[in-house]
A = this chain, B = another copy of it.
């Protein structure tokens, strides 16, 4: 065969991430993510259920500390959310913790009431 692979696979609901293949599957179908989008998703997923700060995301995905006024992390979280919601509307994967950062977890989209899970 070819190179040995670590066979790492991250699953959350209908989502499946295969870091070895740079591949993300949503309900079995491959998702087309850009490099940064993929980086953000993977970084969050690997650290679940921890809350990951923007600073950490920046240094991990962008490879440099977060500059003041830089909104790129927010923008990319938004892009990933958008693509995920498109394919898997029934679940939410990236949760905001105001003042702290973001947290990855597959949770049902519903949650009306003062959602205690995301605050």
Q: Which A residues contact B (CB, under 8 angstroms)?
A: 2, 21-23, 26, 29-32, 34-35, 38, 47, 49-51, 83, 86-87, 95, 97-101, 103, 105, 115-119
Contact = CB atoms under 8 A, between A and B. Distances in A.
Each complex incorporates copies of this chain amounting to 2
Nearest to A60: B2
B51 A118 contact: no
Given A23-B49, A30-B49, A34-B98, 15 more contacts: A2-B47, A21-B50, A22-B100, A22-B101, A23-B50, A23-B51, A29-B117, A31-B117, A32-B117, A32-B118, A32-B119, A35-B98, A38-B100, A83-B117, A87-B117
B21 A51 contact: yes
